[in-house]
Structure 1
Amino acid sequence: MYNKKDWPLTLYFDGQCPLCAREIKIPNRHATESRLLFIDISSGAFDAKALGFTFEQMQSSLHARFADGRWVTGLDATLWSWRAAGLGFWAAPLTWRAIRPLLALGYRCFCRLRPHLAWLPHPDGRRRCVDDRCGVPESKPAPDERPTLKTKQP
Structure 2
Amino acid sequence: MYYDGLCPLCQAEILFLSGRNQAGLLRFIDVNSLQYSAATVGVSCQQALDSMYAQYDDGKLISGVEVFSAAYERADLPKLAWFFSRPSLRPMLTWGYRFFAKNRHTISGVLGPTALRLVKAASKQKG
Q: Shorter-chain TM-score category?
A: 0.7 to 0.9
**Within 1, Cα distance between the matches of 2:93 and 2:42?**
27
**Per-residue deviation, 1:35:** 1.0
Question: For 1:78-93, what aligned pairs fall within 5 Å after superposition?
Answer: 78-93=68-83
Structure (1 or 2) with the larger CA radius of gyration: 1
**Within 1, Cα distance between the matches of 2:32 and 2:19?**
20
- Structure 2 residue 28 is matched with structure 1 residue 35: no
Contact 2:4 2:31 (C-alpha < 8 Å) held by counterparts? yes
Could you tell me which of 119, 123, 136 is aligned with 2:109? Answer: 119
* Other structure's SS at 1:35 match: coil
User: Percent same amino acid at aligned positions?
Assistant: 29
Identify unmatched segments of 5+ residues in structure 1: 1-10, 125-154
The change in CA–CA distance for 1:95 and 1:50 in structure 2 (over 3 A counts) is closer
Question: Which residue identity lines up with residue 18 of structure 1 in the other structure?
Answer: P
**Within 2, Cα distance between the matches of 1:98 and 1:119?**
31
Question: Which residue identity lines up with residue 29 of structure 1 in the other structure?
Answer: G
**Per-residue deviation, 1:14:** 0.9
Moved over 6 A (4+): none
Contact 2:32 2:45 (C-alpha < 8 Å) held by counterparts? no
* Other structure's SS at 1:37 match: coil
Instruction: Provide the aligned length of Structure 1 versus Structure 2.
Output: 114
The change in CA–CA distance for 1:33 and 1:56 in structure 2 (over 3 A counts) is farther
The change in CA–CA distance for 1:97 and 1:50 in structure 2 (over 3 A counts) is closer
User: More helix by proportion, 1 or 2?
Assistant: 2
